[in-house]
Structure 1
Amino acid sequence: MKTSINFKAVKSDSETHNFRRKTFDYIRKDLSPQNEYWQEDKITDRILKIEAYCKEKSGRKLQKNAMPVREAVVVIKEDTTMKDLHDLSKRLQEELGIRVFQITIHKDEGHFDKESKEWKPNLHAHLVADWQDLTTGKTLKHQSFHYSKMQDLAAECLGMERGTAGSVGRLEAVEFKIQKKEQELKALEEKLDQMKAELGSKKFNDLIVNDTNFFGAKQIKTKETITNFGNTFKLYNTELLKNNNELDNKTRQVTELRKEIKDLKRENTQLKSKNTALVTDADVFALEKKKYLDSVAEALEKAIHFQRFKNPQADRSDDKNLLREMNEICKEFSQKNHIPFSALEQIFTITELATGLFSLLRLGDGNEPEPEYIPVPRKKKKRRNIRY
């Protein structure tokens, strides 16, 4: 399965769409609970920080036409996790200076196939990123090879096939359309030959209605004969169309299955190669284990940060409450990201790391947002009728 990542200027209603803050008619509400959300800043707050930093660093205001916050839609798999997207975000920051501060996974968008009536999900994630160059305070400047690098990173971090390069993709699309049209033309020619053959066959003679006139001569009853031919052709075309649709559907399913088998075989070969290295080389095993635990710890830190973002006013002064909340975070994090709980237990055996995670949950990092003020409407006092 191929993936792609494309950044564009963030839209004004991005958060409303991404965090499902209103109902949309193109989503399946029954699948919305499968969506996942993470953020460390609101877009408006991040833009204010970007503008202030630009003024501080360059001495000038951010240009009006600048796009300091951008959003990407990333094609994902059914089993893509929030941790996978955090890993991708880390690589984007390390190699391209792009700092992702919002991630949403959408599994409730898609469509029903017109023929098979099967649900075809549009699995994707939204990455909202800070596009500011921390060295100059201005927006990042990327060249074409940087955008190609983004595609490489997305494929590597999500364990998917890289999308085809633009020019190659367009050429393949044109060739595919030509091939499709040639197939349609051939099918039409075959259908025409078949119809000619059947029109010349004797069975159509049965559709002709004959009658004997006053003089005893046979003659064709035109109206009845035309009706018979019309009804027969309607049934014939309906059946032919149905058979063609079924054939197309089966052919498409076979093609998809062959592609899936090919991908699984390639993935299986890669995993066998990696497993061989892990089993036979102790250094490789230790290095992979460290990389894995480091990425888990970083993703868990982001999950803790998001928990504080959602509930900044929770009472975390009591150690029992703090431990209970951490345990709940870890359980949810383990389930949603398919991470063995034993891996989290191993992280918490490292005293320095465990202390830092508990400190983050209890005290935060000093960048927590202020709680939103929601005015409570006062009850109107009933007027008393004062009698004099």
Structure 2
Amino acid sequence: MKTSINFKAVNSDSEIHNFRRKTFDYIRKELTPHNEYWQEDKIADRIQKIEAYCKEKSGRKLQKNAKPVREGVVVIKEDTTMKDLFDLSKRLEQELGIRVFQIAIHKDEGHFDKESEEWKPNFHAHLVADWQDQTTGKTLKHQSFHYSKMQDLAAECLGMERGTAGSVGRLEAVEFKIQKKEEELKALEEKVDHMKKHLGSGKFNDLIVNDTNFFGVQQIKTKETIANFGNTFKLYNTELLRNSNELDNKTRQITDLRKEITHLKKENVQLKDKNTALLTNADVFALEKKKYLDSVVDALEKAIRFQWFKNPLTDRSDDKKLLQEMNTVCTDFSKNNHIPFSALEQIFTVTELATGLFSLLRLGDGNDIDPEYIPVPKKKKKKRNIRY
């Protein structure tokens, strides 16, 4: 499955759409609970910060035509997690200076296929980003190769195929349209030939309505004959079109499945090579483990910030309540991102990390707390029914 990411100036109603703050007629309400949301700033608040920072760094106001906040739509898979998008956001910041501060995963949009009436979901995510250059205070300036890099990062972080490059894609699209038109022309020619053969065979003679006039001469009743031919050809054409569409649909399905098989075979080879390296090379194993844990810590920090952002006025001075809240955050984070809870338990055994994470939840700004109190979140045990 291919992915792509495209940014444009943020709309004034983006938050209403992204966070589903009102009902839209193009979504399936029963699927909306599957959506996920994260933010560390409101758009209006971030724009104020950008304007103030621009004035501080350059001594000038932000230009009126500047687009300091932009929104990207990225194609995702059904099982794409918020952590995957956190990883993408981190890479966008590291390599292109783009700082994502809002993410919305949408799984309630799509359409019903007209022929099969099957639901075709449109899995995607909205990334709202700060487009300010932290060195100059001005808006980031990107060139074409930077936008190409965005596509590479999206494919790498989301584990998907990269979308086709713009110029190549347009050329292929034109060639494809030409090919389809040629196929349509050939099919039309075959259909005309087929109809001519049937007409010449006398098969449709019974559709002709004759009548004997006053002088005993047979004449064709034009109106009735035309009606008979029209109705027959209409039914004939409908059946032919239905069969043709069904054949096209099956052909497309087979083509897609073959592509998926090829992709999975390639992916399996890559996984086998990686597994071999992990099992035989201690350095590779240690490096991959560190990369994974660093990625989990970064995503967990964002989840904790979001928890504090939603409830900034909550009194978190009680250590027991703080631990309970952290347990809830970690349990939800583990479930939603398919991360083993044991990985989180390992993170909290590191004093420095645990101190920072509890500080983040308690104060929202990373200030230190008493390092002597660093409780380790424990996975909630499922209640079991005791039988006697």
TM above 0.5, yes or no, is yes
Secondary structure at the residue paired with 2:259? helix
Q: In the alignment, what sits opposite 2:346?
A: 346
TM-score (norm 2): 0.90
Taking structure 1 as reference, are residues 199 and 339 closer, same or farther at Cα in structure 2, changes over 3 Å only? same
Task: Measure how far apart 1:226 and its partner are.
Answer: 3.6
Distance 2:165 2:153 in 1: 14
What aligned pairs does 1:243-282 form with structure 2 within 5 A after superposition?
243-282=243-282
The amino acid across from 1:321 in the alignment is K
Residue in structure 2 matched with residue 19 of structure 1 by the alignment:
19
Return the offset for 1:209: 4.2
2:153 corresponding residue in structure 1: 153
Assess if the C-alpha contact under 8 Å between 2:54 and 2:61 holds in 1: yes
Partner in structure 1 of residue 83 of structure 2: 83
Runs of 4+ aligned residues of structure 1 deviating over 4 Å after TM superposition are 209-224
- Structure 1 match to 2:74: 74
Residue in structure 2 matched with residue 375 of structure 1 by the alignment: none
Query: Using a 3 Å threshold, how does the CA distance of structure 1 residues 203 and 7 change in structure 2: closer, same or farther?
Result: same
Which stretch of the first structure deviates more once superposed, 218-227 or 286-295?
A: 218-227
Cα contact 2:360–2:366 (8 A) shared by 1: no
- Greater Cα shift, 149-158 or 223-232: 223-232
SS of the equivalent of 2:203 reads helix
Distance in 2, Cα, partners of 1:258 & 1:245: 20
The residue type paired with residue 37 of structure 1 is Y
| Long gaps (5+) in structure 1 | 368-388
- Which residue of structure 2 lines up, in the alignment, with residue 116 of structure 1? 116
**Aligned counterparts, 1:212-231, within 5 A:** 220-231=220-231
Q: Which residue of 1 aligns with 2:311?
A: 311
* Distance (whole Å) between structure 1 residues aligned to residue 110 and residue 294 of structure 2: 35
Q: State the match for 2:232 in structure 1.
A: 232
Query: Matched residue pairs, number?
Result: 367
1:232 is displaced (CA, Å) by: 2.0
2:55–2:62 contact (8 Å) kept in structure 1: yes
Residue 64 of structure 1: aligned partner: 64
Kindly indicate whether the alpha-carbon contact (under 8 Å) linking 2:356 and 2:366 is maintained by their aligned counterparts in 1.
Answer: no
Deviates more, 1:137-146 or 1:303-312: 137-146
Unaligned runs of 5+ in 2: 368-388
Cα distance change on mapping 1:97 and 1:204 into 2, 3 Å: same
Over aligned residues, Cα RMSD in angstroms? 1.8
Q: 1:210 to 1:321 in 2, by over 3 A?
A: same
The answer to whether the 8 A contact 1:116-1:249 is kept is no
Partners of 1:58 and 1:137 within 8 A in 2 = yes
Provide the C-alpha distance between the structure 2 equivalents of 1:323 and 1:104, rounded to a whole number of angstroms.
27
Residue 50 (str. 1) matches residue 55 (str. 2): no
The correspondence of residues 202-221 of structure 1 with structure 2, limited to 5 A, is: 202-210=202-210, 220-221=220-221
Flag the 1:59–1:231 CA change in 2: closer, same or farther, 3 A: closer
User: Partner letter of residue 263 of structure 2?
Assistant: D
How far apart are the structure 1 equivalents of 2:158 and 2:350?
A: 28
What SS does the aligned partner of 1:44 have? helix
Question: How far does the alpha carbon of each residue in 1:207-226 deviate from its partner, in whole angstroms, 9 at most, with x for none?
Answer: 33456677776655555444
Alignment TM-score, normalising by the size of structure 1: 0.90
Structure 2: distance between partners of 1:353 and 1:312: 22
